[in-house]
Structure 1
Amino acid sequence: MVVAYFLLPLDHLGPQRPVVSWTLFALVLTVVALLLLRQVRHVLIDRPDSRPGMVISLLILLSVHIFSATYYALAKQPGEFTGLHTRVDALYFTVVTLATVGYGDITPQGQSARIVTVLQIAYSFVFLTAAATALTQRIRDTVVRRTERDRPG
């Protein structure tokens, strides 16, 4: 996934194709959010044939790369970001925002960049937190079942 992020032709997105860029961002992020919610549902109904550990982890990683790609494309527009010039910068800013660290070396200056940053924070609160909580619950339930099964008696 990381290799794909660095190889995707992201230079064709951004200010020269704003409608395509925003549509693609919204579509892909919506699909990933729906897939995350589906995995959360599988955990809540204790669906035994699902593999939420792998799927949720991949979808969280995909979410990070979607926001990174969006930030990289937005940075092509003058005045949107200070300090964001490369794909590594975009990935770094995404992870720093996700971790709520905010070092301040890269800052969203333009309205579009600030909107996407707010969307990332809200998306993290709602979808990534729900997915991580569901995954933790699934792991906890699995450990309890195995412990009870292996207990002599």
Structure 2
Amino acid sequence: MSVALRPVGTATALVLAYYLLPLEKRFEGGTAVGLVLGLAAVAALFTWQIRSIMRSSRPRLRAVEALATTVPLFLLIFAAAYYLVEQADQGSFTEPLTRTDALYFALTVFSTVGFGDIAPHTEEARIATMAQMAGDILLVGVAAHVVVGAVQSALARDPSTAPRGPRGSGRAGRG
């Protein structure tokens, strides 16, 4: 697979897995633990990806790949949680959620658009939504900063990958 297509393929595979995985069990203690473990897996994957960016000869591309895996996985974990909450207690949201509705809601919360067509009604649904909101802030703010820092670190380590200034100046640009 082409290096440029790998992030698209990864994101597509994650979405397919979301729709194909059996998510018919009720949201209860074990499912809540599964959500926490899923988020821990996202954190571990992100940590591994940051190390990979720093060792890569193409850190910018690795950063795109890292974000193309981490962000969809994070959102799909919350979409699955919302779907399971609704399956366990119909009426947890202002309307019944299909898998697509749950993914739509997760993306709406992530983007902070908040159309108002779907909203959490029960305490469990609100807790899951608040957890995603906090995670969104960390993912967008802290993770983006860490990814940029890893790319800059890798570029500083390998001057051949650093952007060049105007031709003939012999000085590295500010990339």
**Correspondence for 1:22:** 32
Question: Which blocks of at least 5 consecutive residues in structure 1 are unaligned?
Answer: none
Partner of 2:163: 147
When normalised by structure 1's length, the TM-score is 0.81
Amino acid at match of 1:102: G
Aligned to 1:34, the other structure's residue is in SS state helix
Matched-pair contact (CA < 8 Å) for 2:90–2:96: no
TM-score (norm 2): 0.71
Compared CA separation, residues 136 and 107, structure 1 to 2 (3 A): same
Local SS of the residue matching 2:24: helix
Amino acid at match of 2:46: L
Count of residues paired in the alignment: 147
1:97 aligned to 109, 112, 126, which one?
Answer: 109
1:3 aligned residue (7, 16, 20): 16
What is the CA deviation profile of residues 80-107 of structure 1, one whole-angstrom value per residue up to 9, with x for unaligned ones? 1112421110010000000111111001
- Measured against aligned partners, the alpha-carbon deviations of 1:90-129 in whole angstroms (never above 9, x if no partner) come to 0100000001111110010000000010000101111342
- Provide the rounded CA distance (Å) in 2 between the counterparts of 1:99 and 1:140: 27
AA of the residue aligned to 1:67:
F
Tell me the alpha carbon deviations over residues 120-144 of structure 1, each in whole angstroms, 9 at most, x when there is no partner.
Answer: 01011113422223334555675x9
CA RMSD, 1 decimal:
2.8
Identity %: 32
* Aligned counterparts, 1:44-63, within 5 A: 47-49=54-56, 51-63=62-74
Question: Relative to structure 1, is the Cα distance of residues 35 and 151 closer, same or farther in structure 2, using a 3 angstrom cutoff?
Answer: farther
Task: Specify the code of the residue in structure 2 equivalent to 1:148.
Answer: R
> Is the CA contact (8 Å cut-off) linking 1:68 and 1:93 kept in structure 2?
yes
User: In the TM superposition, what is the alpha-carbon distance from 1:23 to its structure 2 partner?
Assistant: 1.3
Once the two structures are TM-superposed, the CA of residue 68 in structure 1 deviates from its matched residue by 0.3
For 2:81, the equivalent position in structure 1 comes to: 70
**In the alignment, is the contact (CA less than 8 A) between 2:49 and 2:66 conserved in 1?**
yes
Gapped regions of structure 2 (runs ≥ 5): 1-13, 171-175
Q: Is the 8 A contact 2:86 2:93 kept in 1?
A: yes
